[in-house]
Amino acid sequence: MKPVPQPHPGPVLLLLLATASGYKQVQITTWRATLKRICNVIHSIYMFLEVMLDLLGENDRFCQYNGSEESKPFPC
């Protein structure tokens, strides 16, 4: 019987390394996109709450100074 030739491990090893490095790149890109999405959501919630506080809050950005009747009001 003739011995069966064994395949050279070089191409298989290169294919595995290329796949692993590509997977790591995809994984890093996925994490970056996920973190950016989370940051954008937090920013949107923050902006929404700022608008709600402006609409419903007591401070309407006018001077809240209440002096006596005789005192002359001055800008804050």
**Model pLDDT, residue 62:** 59
HEC per residue, 3-57: CCCCCCHHHHHHHHHHHHHHHHHHHHHHHHHHHHHHHHHHHHHHHHHHHHHHHHC
8 Å CB contact between 32 and 43: no
- Tokens 């954008």 belong to 40
Provide, rounded to the nearest whole percent, the portion of the chain with pLDDT above 90.
21
Q: pLDDT tens across 31-57, in order?
A: 889 999 999 999 999 999 988 888 887
Domains of the chain, residue spans: 23-54
**Model pLDDT, residue 48:** 93
Q: Residue 18 above 70 pLDDT?
A: no
**Model pLDDT, residue 35:** 93
More confident residue, 18 or 60: 18
8 Å CB contact between 63 and 75: yes
